[in-house]
Structure 1
Amino acid sequence: MINSSETILFLSGAGLSPWIWDDVRRELPFASVVAPRPTADAASLRDYAEAAIAAVDDDTFTVVAHSIGGVVASEILRLAPERVNGVLAVSAVVPRSGESFVSAMPFPNRVVLPLALRLGGTRPPESAIRRGLGHGLDETLADRIVTDFTTEPRELYLDRTRGHSWTGRAGYLVTTQDRELPESMQQRFAGRLAGDWRESIPTGHLPMLQDPSETAASIARFIAA
């Protein structure tokens, strides 16, 4: 049964604008908000989590976390566990306690990524954005992703989580044609969540753009489960 009084907090992947969730939000019968970026130039992981929590007026909410949003979600669970009804990871990185986004990656990525971030910053080349994030999208959407991509502070990638005691409902939506997080990696992250709710969707890394209707349906099924 759908509880329309539920509120959803959407956490976007790195560099992605809030509009990526627009079509999904329109299809869901819930109040929702997309977490804003913190205003500090060198914002920490905690800054991201606090900005997300402050964006929700309701007492409790369900987190839908995409990509690096899984790391932010972990910090939200540490800071405000009493406010979280559930967590749905969408092709998201799920760190262990003490891990960062980078250190949660498999070898050799966790060794190469810190150097790449230091030398090249956090904005990938346009070709990499199109090849990874843009996979499965039409040209218009891919162009908009490239144009609107925002550089994030390195701290978002490097700050380590500190664990949490939250043990509520959790689920994972696996994107099976993903070039950013391969399906096998997602399945490993899904295994770290306490919940046993899991579905797959045949899209690339941005299912909310490639198939917003089915993404919304999956979110609704998770909330109703």
Structure 2
Amino acid sequence: MFLSGAGLPAWIWDDVRRELGEGQQTCVASRPQGGRARLRDYAQAAIDSAPPGGYAIVAHSAGGVIGAEVARLAPERVSAFLAISAVIPRPGGSFVSAMPVPNRWVLSAVMRLAGTRPPDSVIRRGLAHGVDEEVADRIIADFTPESPALYRDRTAPRSWSGWRGYLRTADDHELPMALQQRCAQQLGAAWQNDVSTGHLPMLEDHRAVAAAITRFLDARP
């Protein structure tokens, strides 16, 4: 089950899902409707959109916070958790609290003043760095503002302890490597690897992402 980063549409995973092949059943988690959804609503929408039985979570960016709640609410269904340049707060923390100072203060102020949709120029320069112009235009056109609670709500104190991995993006203009490494530690990732892309590796190098997912799943004890 793929969990997209904040504001990002399901189609960003299309090439990765095709590369994984028909032998690997996949889905992209749904998001709740409306601008007042809480973090738990995001997690429950993801759980409800998954097929019956167990599944591995592949969480990107802010999807890491949702994935942490999914794993807490339905631990018996989550077989593995791979974070891709994902924000993983400490148990009891939030997306905002996972950011270093002063970034967390700036982020909180910006959300209060301007909401959760960055200007087009910021999306193009940061989130879409590394993808071609046509794809960047599509990302900007399809970007959907999220509920502020996705960023501010705290995860539960108890964390999930199954098979975990972290795929870092080495040319990321959104999450610096130092922050990604800290998130990998927070996750307790026993499997770690890097790709030489920006923040959207599923669009910049979908084959490398699909190969990393396969290696991660094959390495399960």
Give yes or no for TM over 0.5.
yes
Kindly indicate whether the alpha-carbon contact (under 8 Å) linking 1:74 and 1:163 is maintained by their aligned counterparts in 2: no
Q: Does 1:37 align with 2:44?
A: no
1:52 aligned to which of 46, 49, 60: 46
The aligned counterpart of 1:214 is 208
Kindly indicate whether the alpha-carbon contact (under 8 Å) linking 2:68 and 2:159 is maintained by their aligned counterparts in 1: no
Q: Deviations over 1:95-145 (max 9, x none)?
A: 111211011100001112111101000000111000011111111101001
Q: Does 1:150 align with 2:129?
A: no
Partners of 1:167 and 1:221 in 2: how far apart? Answer: 20
1:121 aligned to which of 115, 118, 133: 115
- Cα RMSD between the aligned structures? 0.9
Instruction: Give 1:17 deviation, angstroms.
Output: 0.3
The aligned counterpart of 2:2 is 10
Instruction: Give 1:195 deviation, angstroms.
Output: 3.1
Q: Deviations over 1:24-66 (max 9, x none)?
A: 0001131111011112431110000000011112210000000
TM alignment of 1:129-144, pairs within 5 A: 129-144=123-138
Count, aligned residues: 217
Gap regions ≥5 residues in structure 1: 1-8
TM alignment of 1:73-222, pairs within 5 A: 73-222=67-216
The aligned counterpart of 1:26 is 18
Partners of 2:208 and 2:91 in 1: how far apart? Answer: 32
Kindly indicate whether the alpha-carbon contact (under 8 Å) linking 1:74 and 1:164 is maintained by their aligned counterparts in 2: no
Q: Secondary structure of 1:34's match?
A: coil
Instruction: Give 1:78 deviation, angstroms.
Output: 1.3
**4+ residue runs over 6 A deviation:** none
Instruction: Give 1:81 deviation, angstroms.
Output: 0.6
Q: TM-score, normalised by structure 2?
A: 0.96
Gap regions ≥5 residues in structure 2: none
